Structure 1
Amino acid sequence: MTVILAFLVTVIALAFWWLLREGIMSKPWLETGTVVETAGLPPFPVQRVGLGVFLVVIGSLFALFGSAFVMRMDLEFWSSLKLPPIVWFNTALLVVASVFLRRAAWRGEGRGLHRDTAIAGLATVAFVIGQLAAWRELHLMGNGLTSGPAASFFYMLSGLHSLHILGGIVALGVLMARREHDPDQIKLNTGLCAAYWDFLLVVWIGLLLLFMGWANQLLDICRSVLT
């Protein structure tokens, strides 16, 4: 439950920050000076709103599973899971993919855009392959799908995360194959992909904190501060 509340507080804080950025607290009837014509301004891209709603839904899903994970840890007969070393290599690959895709979004257009996007795509594919290797190492270590609740949660959550990664790879492939010529549209589409990758990177780091037990320590610190 604490994980869900923390996620909802984060979403509300981000929404409030966005509303402030859009001028929700402004009072135009009290302002003086020249009236600025806004009819010719470009509309806010609806794709960003759609992606934001989609990310909230995904985040809520992972927050529910994370809350179930934390509550299950408080029960008896719980044994922690030792993550294989390849998990950290996979994390580095996802960081590389996010960095290069964000770089492509900043670049907007040019020859370097396709190179950065291709590097991000290859690093992401390598991440998914690395996750399969991590599953294999866990199985060889005796941590199969039904060996314990910690292992079951890892297979389920990492598999769900990888499914969302695969969906992003498909979207990135469509973006690269479309060959859009409008610079503004290219920057918008690449920026949406970069935001999606950044979100999945944050989710993956949060999952690692859960499986390593650091999230519980952080929650205990928060509880002690609030009480």
Structure 2
Amino acid sequence: MNTAATLPFDVRARATSASIGLWVFMGVATALFSLFATAYVMRMSGDDAVALALPWQLWLSTALLLAGGAALSKAGAAARGSRGLAPARRLLLAGGLCALAFLAVQLWAWQSLLAAQVMPAGNPGGSFFYLLTAMHGLHVAGGLAGWAWMARAAWRPGARLADLAWRIGLIARYWHFMLVVWLLLFAMLGWLTPEVARVICGTA
């Protein structure tokens, strides 16, 4: 069902504007993360860089981000279908809870590293770990603010599935973007050793 076609013109215009704005924001965020990733590679090529053993909690947080994205995708599909608001609301709530759990597990991972004496200052690998995960966490927290805006509309009396579908679609798109960014960061933090960084930078 084409939900956009069932919306009034002013709502369609708002949905289009929001979609364009989200694409622009994701483009800016991509550039920002790319710059930090480049700086990380360059810094890890230094003589004082040491490979970082990632805490196991990151695997759990990755699974939570995957589950949250899947729940939001299914929530959008439910809103575009004809099964009523209840399934979309349940899946929407599940996606938000997964995002909250993701942030909590990330803090747990920080505590694990701090307990292992990996501090924000000292080892370049540790410094960038805290920086990159904090920056990603802030973007996830911003996505949660958008989720709250959309959840408010979902639980509003008289909420319409057609109007709800495009809102959930925006949040799901952003969540998938956050998932891709996280997977790349996770791979880079776990795989990029000083030796590999020096090969990339041509200083080996």
- TM-score bin, normalised by smaller chain: 0.7 to 0.9
Partner of 1:57: 28
Instruction: Give the match for residue 3 of structure 1.
Output: none
Cα deviation 1:159-211 (Å, max 9, x = unaligned): 11111111111111121112272332211100000000000000000101111
Instruction: Please say if 1:181 is aligned against 2:166.
Output: no
Superposition map of 1:57-96 within 5 A: 57-96=28-67
In structure 2, give the amino acid aligned to 1:77: D
**Larger CA Rg, structure 1 vs 2:** 1
> Identity of paired residues, percent?
32
Selected match of 1:107 from 78, 89, 98: 78
Report the Cα distance in structure 1 between the residues aligned to 2:26 and 2:63, rounded to whole angstroms. 22
Corresponding residue for residue 161 of structure 1 = 136
Q: Work out whether 1:148 is the aligned partner of 2:126.
A: no
Q: Residue in 2 aligned with 1:139?
A: 114
- Highest RCO, 1 vs 2 (Cα 8 Å, sep ≥ 6): 2
1:24-43 deviation per Cα after TM superposition (whole angstroms, max 9, x unaligned): xxxxxxxxxxxxxxxx9x66
**CA shift for structure 1 position 214:** 5.3
Contact 2:65 2:99 in 1 (8 A): yes
Number of residue equivalences = 181
Unpaired runs of 5+ residues, structure 2, are 1-8
Distance in 2 of aligned mates of 1:211 and 1:134: 13
Q: Tell me the residue number matched to 1:17.
A: none
String of CA shifts for 1:4-57, please: whole Å, max 9, x gaps: xxxxxxxxxxxxxxxxxxxxxxxxxxxxxxxxxxxx9x6681211110000000
Deviates more, 1:43-52 or 1:163-172: 43-52
Partner of 1:13: none
Aligned to 2:176: 198
Tell me the alpha carbon deviations over residues 84-137 of structure 1, each in whole angstroms, 9 at most, x when there is no partner: 101100110111001000111111152110100101111110110111110000
Q: Is the 8 A contact 2:48 2:123 kept in 1?
A: no
**Residue identity opposite 1:157 in structure 2:** L
RMSD (Å), alpha carbons = 2.4
Partner AA of 1:78 in structure 2:
A
In 2, Cα distance between the equivalents of 1:111 and 1:92?
Answer: 25
The correspondence for 1:98, drawn from 61, 64, 69, is: 69
Residue 4 (structure 2) aligns with: none
Residue 142 of structure 1: how far off its partner (Å): 1.2
Q: Which residue is equivalent to 1:224? A: none
SS of alignment partner, residue 200 of structure 1: helix
Structure 2 equivalent of residue 24 of structure 1: none
Instruction: Could you tell me which runs of 5 or more consecutive residues in structure 1 were left unpaired when the two chains were aligned.
Output: 1-39, 222-227
What SS does the aligned partner of 2:141 have?
A: helix
CA distance in 2: counterparts of 1:214 and 1:90, whole angstroms:
20
Q: 1:130 aligns with which of 101, 105, 109?
A: 105
Give the ranges of 4+ consecutive aligned residues of structure 1 lying more than 4 Å apart after TM superposition: 214-217
Distance between the aligned counterparts of 2:163 and 2:17, measured in 1? Answer: 12
Counterparts of 1:188-227 in structure 2, within 5 Å, are 188-213=166-191
Aligned: 1:116 with 2:91: yes
Q: What secondary structure is seen at the aligned counterpart in 2 of 1:120?
A: helix
